[in-house]
Amino acid sequence: MTAAPTPFPESPAPPTQTSARLPPGPPLRSAPVGEGDRIHAIDVLRGFALLGILILNIQAFAMPGAAYMNPHAYGDLTGANYTVWWFTHVFGDQKFMTIFSMLFGAGIVLMTSRAEARTGRSAGVHYRRMGWLILFGLLHAHLLWYGDILYSYGMCGLLVWLARKWSPKVLIPLGIGLITVTSVLMLASGMSMPYWGEEGIANFSKGWLPPAELVQGDLDAYRGSWLDQMPKRVVTSIMFETFLFAIAVFWRVSGLMLIGMALFRLGVFQARRSARFYCKMAIIGLTVGLSLAAYGVHWNNDRNWDVKSSFFFGSEFNYWGSIFASMGYVGVVMLLCTSPAILRSLAPLAAVGQMALTNYLMQTIICTTIFYGHGLGYFGSVERTGQAMVVLGVWAFQLIVSPIWLRYFRFGPAEWLWRSLTYWKRQPMRRTHGGPDAAAM
């Protein structure tokens, strides 16, 4: 799931207006920040990560959940379908969520520093913000789709706020240490398997390669009505929010948030570093990260994706490779954002990022409508090649609609609700051209 980032110099290069913000021209408007204060490089990176997340999530929308971890658990895995899965796994799995987690940590530093500059305090607004996000995540998971990440971000955000003023020299090693906890737990669990007994291993294996009756149970539930889906969705959501959160998600996401705080303090996410810095970041990150992920596939294929080797040990290649690859992606995107002309051309991607919460929830609504029984009911019927076509369609929709929406409104609908609840005040929604924009959230 992750890899230790390469060390960064202690101090960022002096900020430059052209690297962090758009040059004069049609405004990239958005959520909670004033037009002159938005860091558009961050918006572009967030939009890139948000769209990329769907490449992975589509598998959980369209197929039984076991197919996400074990590609042999369901569906055809030959020819073009294997090619789609291979590229999805190597170039996407855990990479975009890693970027999103780091940006969430950066956002905490940005929001709290602005709040403290205005009022001297940030705890109240931050904890209300996290509390509402946790509620949104619970509703999203239990009512729509069990694969929610909002709950985990809110829960981790409650703790990492304490580190908002710490030095990168502290944040980076601490973040790596937290990420390592999950890796240690996984390896220790794998080494303990010989002591589980045959029955224990057999029961565990049902989640990795479920028997036909369990697969059919998933198919029947999610091809059924919204009420038919509820028992499966609620049970899976509770497992994600408790057991999996405690042993895996908390450590990785919290660690990544701390690293994101450090990278923001170092000016990395603001496109303030040199082109040479970002080139090195991209080349080293992508070379190491993608190589580890690809080798992990080879390693698992050689062992026929056996649960005893692939679940606990084979997953480690991508666990760590994904962090290197994510750093590489950040380097590529930030390198592009150092050019004002290229940054302007990325305006649709920035708009997607400015409406990230709305677009994330919209992806769920669109995909569950396509695949679940309360909609078109294609769950379990669309191979990976077809899923890729759905992803392209959703991308096109969000890249077109997001800039149009922000031309007339200051926030995405979900961002507006989140902000209004956070400040206990109904926020102005419609854009008044020429007037002052919203303050940073």
Q: How many independent structural domains does the chain possess? A: 1
Q: Say if 221 falls within a structural domain.
A: yes
302, part of any domain? yes
CA dist 301 to 86, 95, 304, Å?
Answer: 11, 21, 5
| CA 15/CA 32 separation, integer angstroms | 22
**Domain-embedded: residue 440:** no
| Residue 10 within any structural domain of the chain | no
Helix, strand, coil in percent for the chain, rounding step 5 = 75, 0, 25
Helix (H) or strand (E) holding 38: none
Residue with tokens 């049970």: 235
Contact (CB, 8 A) for 233 and 142: yes
Residue closest to 38 by CA, chosen among 27, 54, 49: 27
**Residue 25 to residue 16: CA distance in whole angstroms:** 17
Please indicate, yes or no, if residue 371 is contained in any of the structural domains.
yes
Under DSSP, is residue 99 helix (H, G, I), strand (E, B) or coil? helix
H helices of 14-78, in order, are 17-20, 40-62, 66-69
- Domain membership of residue 11 (yes or no) is no
Q: Provide the 10 A C-beta neighbour count for residue 121.
A: 11
pLDDT for res 37: 58
As a whole number of angstroms, the distance between CA 305 and CA 351 comes to 40
For the stretch 245-271, pLDDT in tens is 999 999 999 999 999 999 999 999 999
Ramachandran sector of residue 197 (left: φ over 0; alpha: ψ -120 to 50; beta: rest) = left
Range of the domain at 400: 17-423
pLDDT digits (tens, 9 = 90+) for 195-253: 999 999 999 999 999 999 999 999 999 999 999 999 999 999 999 999 999 999 999 99
| Rounded distance between C-alpha atoms, residue 167 and residue 190, angstroms | 35
Domain-embedded: residue 300: yes
Between the two ends of the chain, the Cα-to-Cα distance in Å is 30
**Angle formed at CA 96 by CA 155 and CA 317, multiple of 5 degrees:** 95
Picking from 62, 333, 19, the residue whose alpha carbon sits closest to that of residue 219 is 62
User: 277-286, pLDDT tens digit by residue?
Assistant: 999 999 999 9
CA dihedral over 350, 355, 356, 361, signed as positive or negative: negative
Distance CA 185, CA 180 (A): 9
User: What are all long-range contacts of 157-162, with beta carbons under 8 Å and residues at least 24 apart?
Assistant: 157/104, 157/108, 157/126, 157/129, 157/130, 157/133, 157/257, 158/127, 158/130, 159/254, 160/105, 160/108, 160/254, 160/257, 160/258, 160/261, 161/108, 161/112, 161/122, 161/123, 161/126, 161/127, 161/130
Along the 441 residues of the chain, how does pLDDT read in single tens digits? 333 333 333 333 333 333 444 444 333 333 344 444 578 999 999 999 999 999 999 999 999 999 999 999 999 999 999 999 999 999 999 999 999 999 999 999 999 998 898 888 899 999 999 999 999 999 999 999 999 999 999 999 999 999 999 999 999 999 999 999 999 999 999 999 999 999 999 999 999 999 999 999 999 999 999 999 999 999 999 999 999 999 999 999 999 999 999 999 999 999 999 999 999 999 999 999 999 999 999 999 999 999 999 999 999 999 999 999 999 999 999 999 999 999 999 999 999 999 999 999 999 999 999 999 999 999 999 999 999 999 999 999 999 999 999 999 999 999 999 999 999 999 999 987 643 343 333
- Report the candidate in 141, 45, 145 with the shortest Cα–Cα distance to residue 101: 45
What whole-number distance in Å separates Cα of residue 58 and Cα of residue 155?
Answer: 25
Is 430 within a domain?
no
Question: Hey, what are 330's tokens?
Answer: 């950040």
